Structure 1
Amino acid sequence: MLMMRQPKTYVASRFYKHQKLKEQAKHFWLRCCRVRTGMMKDMLRRALVHQKFGRKQKGTVALKLRQERLDAACAEHDLEQKQLKGGLRSCGAMLSNKSLTILSIYEPKTFQSLVEVAQRARIEGIYANHVELPDRRLSASKPNKKLTSGVY
């Protein structure tokens, strides 16, 4: 039986894979020079897994922080976040939570005026629904009291 040699491309590709692995693991402070390739692969794999987990968590943490900041800013003006968003939506001002948070931190006077607009819109909305309805009579001889609809 003849023993077949592996082609040179296998040796070259293995060398370049090892160099790529060293390049990815160079932030481990020269430790890649002292450890074997198997340990280096494990360390790199573990680091990449934790990096992916951190990227997943980043969005949820930022969202929670933004919500807490907006709640605190609304609490300063004796208003809830839902009331602020509803009032602004009824006025036609579609601002995201991120932009409201930035306004509350860096431009408190602008945020205060937005809160006032939202409160006015909320009050006007309550009184706009309080409209008298026409008389409702069951018979021509006994008139009913005027009924009103609205939020009290």
Structure 2
Amino acid sequence: MFLTLARYVRTPPPDRWWKRRYVFNNTWRFWGRHRNCYKIAIQSMQHAWRQAKKGRREKKRFVRGLWIERLKAASEEHGLPYEHLVVGLDMAQVQIDRKVLTHLAIYEPKTFKSIAEIARISYGEGLMAATGKQPEGVFTRIVRWE
């Protein structure tokens, strides 16, 4: 309750108080004036948010590269280059992303081996269809009308 006009005028409006409270709640772990002075706190908070957004993007890029490196190593174990693995799975219409393939390569090696075999066969069939020749001793489901 405001008993005097001077007391009423000195109190900040509620919106302003909550706005400042929001900024200080976001900067409470900063050091020095970066958490105590409102203007500096706003600048520090905005800088921290920009850096966090950049870090989230870099993390996604790093993790995708990690998946690809792991898949390269796992596919090389089975005698299949990574590029042939990806193209072969695309030809076989196997829609498994790199994250799941990496988990299969690490935790389910037998399953990954069968997936790599599917990719090898479908990549070979794609090459046969492109060249028009069929290697000896290989039976495929490709039907040619000659």
Whether TM-score is above 0.5 comes out as yes
Which digits, 9 at most, give the CA deviation of each residue in 1:1-46, with x for residues without a partner? xxxxxx96x93132222212111112337x5797322222222222
Q: What 5-or-longer segments of structure 2 have no aligned partner?
A: 1-7, 135-146
Which digits, 9 at most, give the CA deviation of each residue in 1:64-114, with x for residues without a partner? 111111111111112111211222333332222222112111111100111
CA separation of 1:44/1:114 partners in 2, compared to 1, >3 Å: closer, same or farther? same
Q: What 5-or-longer segments of structure 1 have no aligned partner?
A: 1-6, 132-152
1:71 and 2:84 equivalent?
no
Instruction: Kindly indicate whether structure 1 or structure 2 has the higher relative contact order, using CA contacts under 8 Å at least 6 residues apart.
Output: 2
**Between 12-21 and 71-80, the greater mean CA deviation after superposition:** 12-21
Q: Distance in 1 between matches of 2:35 and 2:68?
A: 47
Tell me which residue corresponds to 1:41: 42
CA separation of 1:52/1:120 partners in 2, compared to 1, >3 Å: closer, same or farther? closer
TM-score by length of 2: 0.68
TM-score by length of 1: 0.66
CA separation of 1:34/1:87 partners in 2, compared to 1, >3 Å: closer, same or farther? closer
SS in 1 for 2:116: helix
**Aligned Cα RMSD in Å?**
2.9
Report the AA paired with residue 16 of structure 1.
W
Alpha-carbon shift at residue 54 of structure 1 (Å): 1.0
How many positions carry a matched residue from both structures? 124
Query: Do the aligned residues in 1 keep the contact of 2:24 with 2:36 (CA within 8 Å)?
Result: no
Q: Distance in 1 between matches of 2:124 and 2:53?
A: 47
Larger Rg: 1
SS in 2 for 1:54: helix
Q: 1:24 aligns with which of 23, 26, 34?
A: 26
Alpha-carbon shift at residue 116 of structure 1 (Å): 1.8
Report the AA paired with residue 40 of structure 2.
M
